[in-house]
Structure 1
Amino acid sequence: MRAIQPSAWTSARSQGAMKPDSVLFHAPTSAFQAPGGGENQLVQTGKQLEDLGVTVRLFSPWIDRLEEARLLHLFGMSREGLELARVAQARGIRVVLSPICWYEPRAIAFLAPNRTREVFDLAKLVVKRVAPRWPSWRRALLNLADVILPNSVAEAGQLIRLFAIEPGRFRVVPNGVQSTFTHASPTLFRSEYGTRDFVLYVGRIEPRKNVLRLVEAVSTAGLPLVVIGSPPPGCEAYAAACRRAGDQDVLWIDALYHDNPLLASAYAAARVFALPSWFETPGLAALEAALAGCAVVITPFGCTHEYFGERVEYARPDRPRQIARAIVKSWEAGPDPRLASHVGSRFLWSDVAQRTAEVYDQIAG
């Protein structure tokens, strides 16, 4: 988990009276209790929009009134967001939605807590596929949004198929990365931990990220592994199992604030970055690692091909031997020489903000 420092940008934009013409950002109430890629997307988009002169504020239900805003931008799909979007529509305020959503049948089956829940969740997905107009709160939210900003063409296509949404209401805005990762140096990390040439994982320690199988695969390959992250609430037992599997061969480091220079230095010091999750859209840590010069191994599930093409190695999360082979291949071959420049020329947060601002201007002047 790349923690978002709550006392920095976020708190400064949720206090005091709302400025005129503000864009209101909203995420589910619990979002920053276990921050990850979605929260990072919100924060980095907001920072870069302000650099473009856009006034951004984190919505406070206690003091903010939607009718005083320029527009409402929802990050993630939630029932809270649905109710807020209904109020915004009633008061004539435009709604932008970044859904941050992916449906992966293999993940649904693997992550279900029991067989009954697995069958139920897969059945719901089948209903969406055969009857996309079937009423649901997610379809209602998608239909309330004036513009939908998926992170990829693949995500847009999936939402169109599963919820029968008009394709013209989508504008693809990719996820991004900070340009500062380009200039990262390994010196700080190596001086702190004395570790050289290792496989790196950065993110939540949870089943969807497939950390246990990653630990086992790297152990099979006989390579050193560094894990930076913490478990979200409810995943403590899983994290403990990961630590047992890694024994003494894994260096465990608690989640670092995203702007901590030690994080960027870890990317620069690593030989391979591995993210064999059950799906990614596309995995912000993988973008950061790629920009810092790492070879990358990543899941094929989600929209990863759309971002990385043939410049990385892919490994299915349900095939530990494939994970191990991909890591060893990347370890020996090194990073694709095209990878860092590809990411840096297409996926910077400044470009993401520019595209987002253009959407705002189109719908709200």
Structure 2
Amino acid sequence: MDRLLQRSLGPMEPGAVLLHAPSHAFQAPGGGEVQLARTARHLEELGLSVRPFNPWADRLERGRLLHLFGMSREGLELARVARSRGVAVALSPICWFEPSALAALAGGRLRAARDLGAWALRRAIPRLPGWRRELLGLSEAVLPNSRAEGEQLSRLFGLDRSKIRVIPNGVEPTVQGADPAPFRDRFGPGEFVLFAGRIEPRKNVLNLVRGAAREGLPLVVIGDPVPGHEPYASRCRQEGGPLVRWVPRMDADDPLLASAFAAARVFALPSWFETPGLAALEAALAGCSVVITPFGCTREYFGDLAFYARPGKLGEIAGALRRAWEAGRGRTELAERVRRRYLWATVARRTAEVYDEIAPRG
């Protein structure tokens, strides 16, 4: 992340690919921010000039193209300016619309009814005007992380399927050879279930804590609460008990995080949806058994090689944790699937090919 910041502070090279995420994104970084940073790193290794867009200094018309990460109104405003100046726009939407999540995370019946009603209306009339539909229309190429995500955008917003270029999420190959000793030396020996991510209701940490407790399984939670969700994190801690160890968030490049993946027996991410969950991909490559939500595009990535549990079903979470624990580490077929299909170097090459389609290098 520091390398990205340094590049944005230096002078802009004419013809650079300009990357953008909402201005608040890196205040509580997650998978989308890692996707941006890792894509940038590997595009540079391919010889491309890549730069996080600096609104204080950069001029869009001096860039080769604008690549937006995440759907936001801020991105829409920037896309409007880019297109008015003849600059191509690529969009990695990084989104999923899950009705069960809308109901569970609304925070009240009235809000849930409103959100579900809006979803149903959008599903019935995909050409209904809206800022997301406009943003998709302004983008020359839309780069969902899965076929399922692209199909959902077409169903809900009338996205022209000819714009879709599926670009999966990725992992670094070094995760596969990580040493478990540093994590064990610092936090103690023994096997455990691991969660690594943001602590918020969408990630369903509370039900994970409850499921692990029901099975008597030790759990390590690596992450910090998302701003505004501190009470939720406190509740998770209160219910965690002595079998849960809480570890502050680690940077995606921290060797200790890779060591944690190597030390864990099971990785669990029973979220309300995932697209598909970068930490789960890394854990799979490291050899963990994986428990994950079926909502989102997870089945497209993990197939029948993961253990699935619906987020609102505590019994399913507990049962999946137990089965994954009994299966143990060394899930070589899953690790090989991830290594063969989802390395960041492969992701970057496919991304560069899309750039060449919509903004050929002069």
TM-score range, shorter chain: over 0.9
What is residue 345 of structure 2 aligned with on the other side? 350
The correspondence of residues 315-326 of structure 1 with structure 2, limited to 5 A, is 315-326=309-320
Which residue of 330, 336, 339 maps to 2:334? 339
What is residue 247 of structure 2 aligned with on the other side? 253
Q: Aligned equivalents of 1:144 and 1:12: distance in 2?
A: 29
Which residue of 203, 207, 225 maps to 1:231? 225
Instruction: Tell me by how many angstroms 1:254 deviates.
Output: 0.4
Structure 1 runs of 4+ aligned residues shifted over 6 Å read: none
What is residue 3 of structure 1 aligned with on the other side? none
Instruction: Tell me by how many angstroms 1:334 deviates.
Output: 2.1
The correspondence of residues 174-253 of structure 1 with structure 2, limited to 5 A, is 174-253=168-247
Q: Aligned equivalents of 1:63 and 1:41: distance in 2?
A: 24
Residue 119, structure 1, aligned to residue 109, structure 2: no
Alpha-carbon displacement from aligned partner over 1:29-48 (angstroms, at most 9, x marks no partner): 10000000000000000000
Q: Aligned equivalents of 1:226 and 1:165: distance in 2?
A: 41
Alpha-carbon displacement from aligned partner over 1:133-160 (angstroms, at most 9, x marks no partner): 0000000000000000000000000000
Residue 142, structure 1, aligned to residue 116, structure 2: no
Count of residue pairs brought into register by the alignment = 359
Q: Aligned equivalents of 1:141 and 1:275: distance in 2?
A: 30
What is residue 89 of structure 2 aligned with on the other side? 95
SS at match of 2:9: coil
Give TM-score, length-normalised by structure 1.
0.97
Q: Aligned equivalents of 1:337 and 1:78: distance in 2?
A: 38
RMSD: 0.8
The correspondence of residues 1-365 of structure 1 with structure 2, limited to 5 A, is 6=1, 8-335=2-329, 336-365=331-360
SS at match of 1:247: helix
SS at match of 2:332: coil
Alpha-carbon displacement from aligned partner over 1:12-34 (angstroms, at most 9, x marks no partner): 11112210110000110100000
Tell me whether 169-178 or 113-122 shows the greater mean CA deviation: 113-122
Letter in 1 for 2:334: L
Q: Aligned equivalents of 1:213 and 1:362: distance in 2?
A: 44
Give the fraction of aligned pairs with identical amino acids, expressed as a percent. 60
Q: Aligned equivalents of 1:150 and 1:286: distance in 2?
A: 18
- Unpaired stretches in structure 2, ≥5 consecutive residues: none
- Unpaired stretches in structure 1, ≥5 consecutive residues: 1-5
SS at match of 2:67: strand
